[in-house]
Structure 1
């Protein structure tokens, strides 16, 4: 496979996605609020704390949120291009996660401290930092913690939403958090891979969740403090819009996924040749980009993305909960993150089915007991965590669909408990949940299928 061609095509895909986000910002500004609303909304996003699940649509409006995603993603791409780094499937995955979380937790102010910390770490280790830009982009998941220590933590109860209250203490804490993340997380990523043996594609989720647990415990529990939680703000340009975001979001994703599908089809000689072979991959230590090339990865992105979009629409249609909020749109982007390095429709549908299975069981038990239903598939937390639960695709791919359904059930059962461990200050909560699920599932599966044990990790 021509890796230099992959490099150009991955950078081209990232650039096109950035332009689509920018276009969405401009279009939504024209519909809701104009340029003034866009810039005002973006400023509100920058100066607001953002623990899980802070909906940037409510903080900064729809246009301000899309502008935030466009600016952050294009800035990351600019660094990749200017530095001369080679674009790999891992780099593409990290890029998609940046886009995803710019709708609920990342912004142009809070992504840089941890990013710079990683660069400093690899320079200190005398390694070419350009090979690790994807690691630096993954560490942006600590954006909410950065915003917290910069804006609200030093001020405490004196914090006033909408006012910039940056102190010297906050700046020093922010620098410390960035450097700490940069020094610790690269090693934690390798350790997490050893723990779940490659069965969680969102490897950073487990690593960052454990680090987030320590940071939250140190900054809050050890100091006798409590987190203030997500900000409560209804942006004037978001109030009253309501369900109209359903049409906007569906059109956006149909444009992205159909364009990827058509582009991949044309680049693949106007055929779907070898896509069947890609679908046979287990997803366990798979790299579709290197093995099959980016045209087939684009085809996979298109088909898999449409499947994810169909699932989101179906659960919104048949259950009560959230619609296409900022976090929901981010969840769709997050779900397709590894479509070039492990995920495809065949090894992910069992995970979705696992969530549905647990929900139906809960419905049955609550009906029998006469209790009110505590959650639905379209409850915001479950929407977002199922997107990361697809990182368990290697379990379904290697052990079969039944094991995939079981992994989905386990993930759905524990997903609402994990954010409390890190205080909501780490955005890979779904990946953290998937990592814990993998630890449970892999131990059981390898016990019953010892001939399938992964060796050498």
Structure 2
């Protein structure tokens, strides 16, 4: 899935890699530049110090905790850090890597920072070193595993443990978590059969639950929080729609001003592992990502929600996975399912928790892609039901709470849907004409 950069790449391949790297670097620099339109350098600097020294469990919106400029600058720093990790692992930038980088960028609005993410990435790469596998094999664990970043911050700053012991304990827990993620994620993907795109999120949910259970046994309790910004729909709507328009135009330009490859992306279920760069090319993938960005942002505005840190995290995660499993066709049923369930159980569909459940719930998009729209709507409805109640298990230290819930939904629904799918296939076979070749195969099997 993750490919190593080859020293013997052709000139065209090398230019292709540089283009992808420059596009992502340009995104990081854009976020950093926009930060100074909101706040002064001093406010951004002090805000980033506050971000790195604060507990970061769900939901801690950095725009509300400090200021918008500091949050955007943290996004820039975290994106550049992720690109540096990719270079250090000597890996190619493909669909999964783009999804990982933009997911980190999104969660840099609420929960991830340079301090609490690095020990997890180091732990993942240490696992590769100890087991003597290439570093790029642990790259996705190093990127997505930063879901447990709040565990580092909570242990370091929030439990009342004296310094430097608190920081050492936090860093140690992050390192151990990162070390455990690669083997566990490899195992758990068989549990969800690739129908939940946030496989590492499910893994981190399990690890986070174990850590929180241990802490509760020793009398420590972690409270979830709800620090959220509001009143920024105007400027962020302009920023997001401009960004996605730029992506759309760049995609068209790279694609020869055509939509070649987009139909192939739309036809695929998105089940892990589906690299849209290989399936449709970079141009079509950028178009797909832009369309998902337009859809996600418009959905939030139509629902009357606030564009705050967690919502921005959801939007950027959706567009990131537009390179790795999500498209308009398989995402829409999930959004519909979450929205309908929100109305049926009298949830406030304008609330941030329901809106991000819809955005992050698109982890189940492959279910809709494989089994159809009705299955996708059911999956979305079931996801909202679970995700509203599952955060207590890991105490909010797993930022990918929806990935944890999505993994459980997939593990429950897939066997049932597969049984119905097989039953329908058998019924069609019974109704259809008998192929003599089939009779031969049956005789041989008997």
Could you tell me which residue of structure 1 aligns to residue 438 of structure 2? none
Counterparts in 2 of 1:307 and 1:183: CA distance versus 1, 3 Å: same
Distance in 1, matches of 2:84 and 2:206, equals 31
Distance in 2, matches of 1:71 and 1:341, equals 23
Distance in 2, matches of 1:405 and 1:288, equals 24
Counterparts in 2 of 1:280 and 1:248: CA distance versus 1, 3 Å: same
Aligned pair 1:269/2:256, yes or no? yes
Aligned pair 1:313/2:313, yes or no? no
Could you tell me which residue of structure 2 aligns to residue 368 of structure 1? none
Could you tell me which residue of structure 1 aligns to residue 201 of structure 2? 205
Distance in 2, matches of 1:209 and 1:430, equals 9
Q: Shift of residue 211 of structure 1?
A: 0.9
Query: 1:233-312 to 2 correspondence within 5 Å?
Result: 242-243=230-231, 245-285=232-272, 286-312=274-300
Matched length: 414
Could you tell me which residue of structure 1 aligns to residue 73 of structure 2? 67
Aligned pair 1:225/2:220, yes or no? yes
Aligned pair 1:341/2:324, yes or no? yes
RMSD across aligned positions (CA): 2.1
Aligned pair 1:147/2:135, yes or no? no
Q: Is the 1:103–1:326 contact (alpha carbons within 8 Å) kept by the matching residues of 2?
A: yes
Query: 1:1-150 to 2 correspondence within 5 Å?
Result: 7-29=17-39, 34-81=40-87, 84-150=90-156
SS of alignment partner, residue 114 of structure 2: coil
Distance in 2, matches of 1:106 and 1:275, equals 33
Q: Shift of residue 327 of structure 1?
A: 1.3
SS of alignment partner, residue 449 of structure 1: helix
Aligned mate of 1:332, from 315, 333, 339: 315
Distance in 1, matches of 2:225 and 2:250, equals 40
Could you tell me which residue of structure 2 aligns to residue 196 of structure 1? 192
Counterparts in 2 of 1:210 and 1:169: CA distance versus 1, 3 Å: same
Q: Shift of residue 50 of structure 1?
A: 1.2
SS of alignment partner, residue 348 of structure 1: helix
Aligned mate of 1:396, from 352, 368, 374: 368
Q: Shift of residue 85 of structure 1?
A: 2.5
Distance in 2, matches of 1:449 and 1:37, equals 57
Q: Shift of residue 333 of structure 1?
A: 0.8
Gap regions ≥5 residues in structure 1: 156-165, 317-321, 364-374
SS of alignment partner, residue 345 of structure 2: helix
Q: Identify which of structures 1 and 2 has the higher relative contact order when contacts are C-alpha pairs closer than 8 Å and 6+ apart.
A: 1
Could you tell me which residue of structure 2 aligns to residue 161 of structure 1? none
Deviations 1:55-95 (A, max 9, x none): 11111110011111111111221333355332221111110
SS of alignment partner, residue 336 of structure 1: helix
Gap regions ≥5 residues in structure 2: 1-11, 426-446
Counterparts in 2 of 1:260 and 1:84: CA distance versus 1, 3 Å: same
Q: Is the 2:255–2:283 contact (alpha carbons within 8 Å) kept by the matching residues of 1?
A: yes
Larger Rg over CA atoms:
2
Could you tell me which residue of structure 2 aligns to residue 354 of structure 1? 337
Q: Shift of residue 388 of structure 1?
A: 1.7
**Structure 1 segments of 4+ aligned residues over 6 angstroms from their partners:** none
Normalised to the residue count of structure 1, the TM-score between the two structures is 0.86
Q: Is the 1:10–1:92 contact (alpha carbons within 8 Å) kept by the matching residues of 2?
A: no
Distance in 2, matches of 1:65 and 1:18, equals 13
Aligned mate of 1:421, from 389, 393, 397: 393
Could you tell me which residue of structure 1 aligns to residue 429 of structure 2? none
Could you tell me which residue of structure 2 aligns to residue 163 of structure 1? none
Distance in 1, matches of 2:145 and 2:233, equals 31
Counterparts in 2 of 1:224 and 1:396: CA distance versus 1, 3 Å: same
Q: Is the 1:204–1:431 contact (alpha carbons within 8 Å) kept by the matching residues of 2?
A: yes
Could you tell me which residue of structure 2 aligns to residue 216 of structure 1? 212
Counterparts in 2 of 1:422 and 1:194: CA distance versus 1, 3 Å: same
Q: Is the 1:446–1:452 contact (alpha carbons within 8 Å) kept by the matching residues of 2?
A: no
Q: Is the 2:383–2:406 contact (alpha carbons within 8 Å) kept by the matching residues of 1?
A: yes
Aligned mate of 1:412, from 377, 384, 402: 384
Q: Shift of residue 205 of structure 1?
A: 1.5
Distance in 2, matches of 1:95 and 1:198, equals 20
Q: Shift of residue 357 of structure 1?
A: 1.3
Deviations 1:122-158 (A, max 9, x none): 1111112134322201111111110011112243xxx
Q: Shift of residue 376 of structure 1?
A: 1.4
Deviations 1:311-367 (A, max 9, x none): 111111xxxxx511111111111222211111000111000000121123234xxxx
Distance in 1, matches of 2:225 and 2:54, equals 9
Of residues 401-410 and 441-450 in structure 1, the stretch that sits farther from structure 2 once superposed is 441-450
Counterparts in 2 of 1:214 and 1:253: CA distance versus 1, 3 Å: same
Counterparts in 2 of 1:153 and 1:339: CA distance versus 1, 3 Å: same
